[in-house]
Amino acid sequence: MSDFMMSQVKGLLSKVSDDMENLAESNSGQFEMLLGAIDDLAANMFATQAIMSLMLKKNPVDAEEAKAWIREQAESAGQEAPKAEAMVDYLITD
């Protein structure tokens, strides 16, 4: 994963955190719980991306096959998943 993309993700998470702080004045208990969940989610996402990046370097994946799999799964649920397809390019391109 590129440093630029990682900084973008960190920036967005920081913005979410800042927005949540603004809401904290009325619901501090829920705010703390939500911030903890966001932090846990971010840690999980970064670790997963790191592992995937290393795995993909050793075991290349055809992006179009991955996108086809996503489309097939989404269509069977009557949905579309353009963000998931975009993430394929993001994860495969380093």
What is the structure's pLDDT at 94? 60
Residue ranges for the chain with pLDDT beneath 50: none
20-41 pLDDT tens trace:
777 766 677 777 888 899 999 9
pLDDT at position 34 is: 86
Give the pLDDT score at 65.
Answer: 96
The answer for residues whose C-beta is within 8 angstroms of residue 92's C-beta and 6 or more apart is 56, 61, 63, 66
**pTM of this prediction exceeds 0.75:** no
DSSP 3-state of 24: coil
Predicted local distance difference test score (pLDDT) of residue 84: 93
